[in-house]
Structure 1
Amino acid sequence: MKKKILVTGGSGFIGTNLIDYYKDRYEVLNLDHSKPRNESHSVYWKEVDILDKEKTLQLFNDFQPHYVLHMAARTDLDGKTIEDYAANIAGVENIITAINQTKSIEKVIFASSRLVCEIGYSPKDECDYKPSTVYGESKIVGEKIVRDSKKLEDNWIIVRPTSLWGPWFDIPYKNFFDSIKRKLYVHPKGVRIHKNFGFVGNCVHILDKLLFDRTLNTQTVYLSDFEPLEVKQWANIISNKFHGHDIKSVPLFVLKTLAISGDVLKKIGYKSPPITSFRLDNIMTNMIYDTTKVEEVVGELPYSLEEGTTITYNWYKAHN
């Protein structure tokens, strides 16, 4: 008999890649309030909002999963109050209740977010927080609910995805590819920026290893590629795919001026300017996380930066 894997939020970016990875290996079920991004995944989908406790519990009970990857969340930064992110709080409580009543479950992975700390801040431990968004605050509450729950056994792990990219991605991370395709991305001259981003194919591989290993149970780890990428190098790889040449570099003050213009465009209703002060700050800030413990469990990742970029470029060309 095949093992059963339940993915909440399986219609989202990471979830879509998880369903694709597991669908031919195990019996899979996607619980999501949105239809799948990949239409071929519709056969694995049950429509449910995780805030609907009764229906969520019923679907867990009907499926009797062995493994659960809880990816469902509200992830945008548009919410004004913590109540706007009920899916990240009450939704987590409902999932824990469902897990508690489902005796078949062997392991659970809960997805949090790197935004429990602002970009550039290195937490001293997993309970050291410094959020800069309401979304990040909601994810902190969700983490605490998991750690403090009396209903869970010691068969869970929390992962904090960093900035992940790859097939089926969307705003904001797809913006980087969009801007390079449109020749709108320019790099600050003479500036080297390093980021622990993650190709989604590598991150699915990591999640799979963590799902079937008990070494890091009850711990909180970051989900990303192990080697930080250098942003200009990556941008050049992408640009050469689209245009056959490297990106341009300009003095930093030019980018700051463009960012201010983007701020104005956003204020007057332009939804996604190529660059804003917020995005420029994100680009300019090094983002490094300690993945040592995960590396010891997972070993070598399957995709290089060049390979992941090629896969993503091919998907992008086919879907845009």
Structure 2
Amino acid sequence: MVKILVTGGSGFIGSNLVEYLSSKNHQVINYDIKKPRNKSFIKNWVKGDILNQKDLAACFESFNPDYVIHLAARTDLDEKQSIVGYATNIEGVENVIDLINKYPTIKRTIYASSRMVCRIDYVPESFDDFCPPNLYGESKVIGEKIVKEKANHDFVIVRPTSIWGPYFEIPYRTFFDAVRKKIFFIPRNHNPKKSFGFVHNTTFQIEKILFAPKEKVDQNYYLADYPALELKLWATMIAVEFNQEQIKTIPMLPLKIASKMGDALQKVGWKNPPLTTFRLNNLITNMVYDTASLEKLCGELPYKLKESVAITTSWMKNNF
């Protein structure tokens, strides 16, 4: 049995990861400022903020982990004024690095970044090529650079793409809700391919990366299912699980108008309108990442798309 410390284990990916690793008989601690979403794992929770160096150090000292998976982050896109609002993604990363540098017994650390280190329509030439679309993305760029500059331990940086599944929130639960309520439409003449990831496949990939021999592991990975899915097929599968008809298409003009209205509503305080220009751009733009090295390391994924959709919609039916 190995000891694994997960920061941010009460978040979406973290909740699934703590559950998955515990099922493998690993000893898991979730260091998070928030309570676990799954009450069955309260026993694994240590309340703490990664910006609090004293509490974080106390957790490391008492648990003495063999591995660390750093997921804790501020992940919303609401900050518009200053990157200072994303201190968790910058100073928090520094705090984790400083501690792990003092623990030579820690075998490997995984640092979670984000696909938003580049905007959706930008294809980076390398993992050091950045083009963030917002302050959140900028904070993750800074976090990656800090890891590469200051970490003197075995580490891997992962960039979750668009991950979905049980315990998810905005924006992909909003997407599932829109399909469920029959208010989702595919933009006519658009059926982009997307490197999305079902969260149970994501946790499987993280475990593979964590325990793989050093010589077989790259320093960076995008986390996504392979191959990329087609948006229309995915939406149709979701609709079928909710006993709906086929997904309908709609011309771009009304969608553009609705997205502008959504932008205006955001400016007056509505945090989650059904459609914005940002989301519309996501709907019509291909987002495909090279996952060849990830596939080589992890092999076949445990969950196919149809089963993944069924698990997620069942969770939604039981919880909302």
Please state which band the TM-score falls in when normalised by the shorter chain: over 0.9
Q: Does 1:39 align with 2:45?
A: no
Mapped contact 1:163–1:224 kept (Cα < 8 A): yes
Q: Letter of the aligned partner of 1:176 in structure 2? A: F
Partner AA of 2:142 in structure 1: V
**C-alpha distance 58-274 of structure 1, shift in aligned 2 (>3 A):** same
Shift of 1:187: 0.7
Q: Which amino acid aligns with 1:22?
A: L
- Cα distance in 2, alignment partners of residues 263 and 244 from structure 1: 29
| Deviation string, structure 1 residues 48-89 (Cα, Å, up to 9, x no partner) | 000001110111111011111100011111122111111111
Q: Which residue of 2 aligns with 1:101?
A: 102
Q: Once the 2 structures are TM-superposed, how far is the Cα of residue 266 of structure 1 from its aligned partner? A: 2.3
Matched, 1:131 2:127: no
The corresponding residue for 1:192 is 191
TM-score by structure 1 length? Answer: 0.96
SS of residue matched to 2:41: helix
CA distance in 1, matches of 2:200, 2:140: 24
Other-structure match for 1:265? 265
> What is the CA-CA distance between 1:13 and the residue it aligns to?
0.5
1:147·1:218 contact (CA, 8 Å) conserved in 2? Answer: no
Q: Report deviation, 1:317.
A: 0.8
2:29 aligned partner: 29
CA RMSD of aligned residues (A): 1.2
Report the alpha carbon displacement of residue 243 of structure 1 after superposing the two structures with TM. Answer: 2.5
Aligned to 1:9: 8
Instruction: Name whichever of 309-318 and 235-244 sits farther off.
Output: 235-244
| Residue identity in the other structure for 1:114 | R
Shift of 1:190: 2.5
- Give aligned pairs, total: 317
DSSP 3-state at the match of 1:190: coil
Task: Indicate yes or no: 2:189 matched with 1:172.
Answer: no
241-250 or 44-53, which deviates more: 241-250
- Does the aligned pair in 2 maintain the 1:9–1:70 contact within 8 Å? yes
Which amino acid is the alignment partner of residue 93 of structure 1? E
Shift of 1:244: 3.5
Q: CA deviation at 1:135?
A: 0.6
- How big is the shift at 1:225? 0.6
- Three-state SS of the structure 1 residue aligned to 2:69 is strand
The Cα shift of 1:218 comes to 6.0
Q: Give the corresponding residue for 1:121.
A: 122
Percent identical pairs in the alignment equals 47
Cross-structure match for 1:204: 203
Q: How does 1:38-57 map to 2 (within 5 A)?
A: 38-57=38-57
| Contact 2:217–2:297, Cα closer than 8 Å, also in 1 | no
Does the 8 Å contact 1:57/1:97 carry over to 2? no
2:235 is the alignment partner of 1:235: yes
1 CA distance for matches of 2:318 and 2:103? 40
> Residue 60 of structure 2 aligns with which residue?
60
CA contact 2:70–2:109 (8 Å) conserved in 1: yes
Instruction: Show the counterpart of 2:282.
Output: 282
CA distance in 2, matches of 1:123, 1:191: 23
Task: Please state how far the C-alpha of 1:102 moved relative to its aligned partner.
Answer: 2.3
Match of 1:73 in 2: 73
* Aligned partners of 2:180 and 2:244 also within 8 Å: no
Cα distance between partner residues in 1 of 2:216 and 2:51:
29
Kept in 2, the 8 Å contact 1:263–1:276? The answer is: yes
Secondary structure of residue in 2 paired with 1:168: coil
Answering whether residue 310 of structure 2 is matched by residue 310 of structure 1, we say: yes
Equivalent residue, structure 1, for 2:87: 86
TM-score by length of 2: 0.96
Instruction: Give the conservation status (yes or no) of the 8 Å contact 2:68–2:106.
Output: yes
Alpha-carbon distance in structure 1 between the residues aligned to 2:122 and 2:32: 32
In 2: Cα distance, 1:74 partner to 1:105 partner: 25
| 1:115-145 deviations in Å (ceiling 9; x for gaps) | 0000011111111100110011111111011
- Deviating beyond 6 angstroms after TM superposition, the runs of 4 or more aligned structure 1 residues are none
The Cα of 1:268 is off from its aligned counterpart by 2.9
Q: Matched residues in 2 for 1:203 and 1:89: separation? A: 24
What secondary structure does 1:62 align onto? helix
Deviations 1:226-279 (A, max 9, x none): 211110111011011113421111111121122122223223332211111111
SS at match of 1:101: coil
AA paired with 2:68? V
**Paired residues of 2:182 and 2:244 also in contact (CA < 8 A):** no
Contact 1:206 1:298 (C-alpha < 8 Å) held by counterparts: yes
For 1:305, the aligned partner's letter is L
Instruction: Give the secondary structure class of the aligned counterpart of 1:198.
Output: strand
**Quick one: distance in 1 between partners of 2:30 and 2:101?**
19
Structure 1: 5+ residue stretches without partners:
none
